[in-house]
Chain A
Amino acid sequence: MLENFSFRTIVEYLPLFGQGLVTTVWLSALSFVGALVVGIVLCAMNLQRGWLFRAPAKAYIDAVRATPLLAQLYFLYFGLPRLGFVLPELVVGILALSLNSGAYIAEIIRAGILSIPRGQVEASVASGMTYVQRMRLVVLPQAFKVTIPPLLGQAIVLVKDSALLSLISVAELTRAGQLLASDRFMPAEGFVTIAAFYLLLYYCLKGLAVLSSRWLGTAGART
């Protein structure tokens, strides 16, 4: 088994894997920031009383959650140009990941906000706080704390989803593995190596989650 495994080839391809890793990291980071913005906007729309903002936000979240990311990616890359919008692959990639992940993040934040007991909101209304004060001082600090773990979970999903960008010619980590597999016909070496790198990224994010929960545990808002 293992005598067929070529560590030498993996070492030879390490610079390529390194470049791919760097691309995966910055692409995912940018996409996550984009997804947070999309998520917050969607969540704000979704929490409105009037249907005018709520209905489109709900429809969007359902549409994104019901369709595969691959289909969304192909639509943006191969479909949109037929409608007159030609975007470079990196833009399409970041856009697709942000728009997709944003829908999930909107629901995570909404769940966080709704987890704050109704009584606290009523109490802050009774003590004469404005909407902004209520959100800033009572609801959001607590909601923030409960959303951190699922948000980091979503970030891990996003990093793994970024592998799909290899299909629209983005030279990220998975593509580096595909190149090794197709150049040297060594799929085992190529895909084991990217698995190791994704595991590394996973542990980094997990470490971040532990650190942030510790930080929030001491410095976070307490009621």
Chain B
Amino acid sequence: MKIARLFIAGLALAGLTAAASAGTLDEITKRGELRVAVQTQGPPFSLVGANGERTGSSVELAELMAKEMGVKIKFLDFDWDGLIPALLSGKADLLVADMTPTLARGMKVAFTTPYMYTGSTVFTKADSKFKTTEDCKAKGTKIAVLLGATGEKEAKTAFPDADIKSYKGGGPLLLDAVNNGQADCGVNDVSAVKGQSTAYPAGSFTIMPDLLSKEPLAFATRYDEPDLLVWMNLFLNQVTIDGRLQKNLDYWVNSDAWKKDH
């Protein structure tokens, strides 16, 4: 008798915990909407196209995710340093940006396996006296970086004597600051710099061939959304196998083929 009662209580308890951890995926299905945090900072990862539509490599991958989930998608726009706080505060289910899964960020959010690799590069204005990465090491050189980006820390390490100026917002601000002469050199991901410099006349910037770092890029969710993380990894695995990821990256990141369409 007693054992039977215990058994039933145990079953009920298991049922309760199962219900409690029904998970984010169920929630998203019920809601019918996937909420994605992005930073619309410019090509190639996230931009507003010629017709005012939101697009880019990360944006298309997120749209593909929502399509595979069978739900609508809702994008929420944040500054670079606001992306992780937005995710942590539950405003978004996941974040797609050209974000590097650093160990420090990994203490806060759960990253998928990396889906591509890039690196931080140094860029200068084409006609400036700073021609190489070495030139930017001079004492007092003004280096523009993005608040909260990996380039911020790399610049501090690579240019210890420089005057690091961090901007809040997106990568295009760094290009502006360097183009305007308010900073001598800028540090950001090479894929971002290449994509965003297309907004300027060709040959406005010198992008150094050497990279300060190797940076994997990944998407992120919260640690209390393990089901979503598992699904996102499954998704990345699937699009890698069927070639949709390569097609996306070839179009947006590895070439400027997107320019004629957007």
Q: Which residues of A contact B (CB under 8 A)?
A: 77-78, 81-82, 86, 88-89, 166-169, 175, 178-179, 181-183, 185, 187
Contact = CB atoms under 8 A, between A and B. Distances in A.
B169 A167 contact: yes
A169 B88 contact: no
Interface stretch (B49-57, B174-182, B233-241, B248-256): B174-182
A179 B104 CA distance: 14
Contacts of A182: 81, 147-148
B80 to A, nearest CB: 8
Contact of A166 (B104, B168, B173): B168
Given A78-B176, A169-B166, A178-B168, A185 B88 contact: yes
Interface in B95-152: 104-105, 108, 144, 147-148
Given A169-B165, A169-B167, A88 B85 contact: no
B91 to A, nearest CB: 12
Contact of B180 (A82, A175, A179): A82
B84 interface: yes
Contacts of B148: 182-183
Contacts of A88: 182
A166 B173 CA distance: 13
B168 A81 contact: no
A86 B81 contact: no
Contact of B182 (A86, A179, A181, A185): A86
A178 B147 contact: yes
Interface in B147-170: 147-148, 165-169
Given A78-B176, A182-B148, A167 B168 contact: yes
A187 B180 contact: no
Residue of A166, A183, A185, A187 ringed by the most chain B CB atoms within 10 A: A185
Nearest to B176: A78
B81 A89 contact: no
Nearest to A185: B108
Contact of B81 (A78, A82, A168, A178): A178
A151 B150 CA distance: 43
A78 B172 CA distance: 11
25 contacts: A77-B182, A81-B181, A81-B182, A89-B165, A89-B182, A167-B167, A169-B144, A169-B165, A169-B166, A169-B177, A175-B166, A175-B168, A178-B81, A178-B147, A178-B168, A179-B166, A181-B81, A181-B85, A182-B147, A182-B148, A183-B104, A185-B84, A185-B88, A185-B105, A187-B85
Nearest to B172: A78
Contacts of A185: 84-85, 88, 105, 108
**Which 3 residue pairs of A and B lie closest in terms of their CB atoms, listed nearest first?**
A182-B148, A81-B180, A182-B81
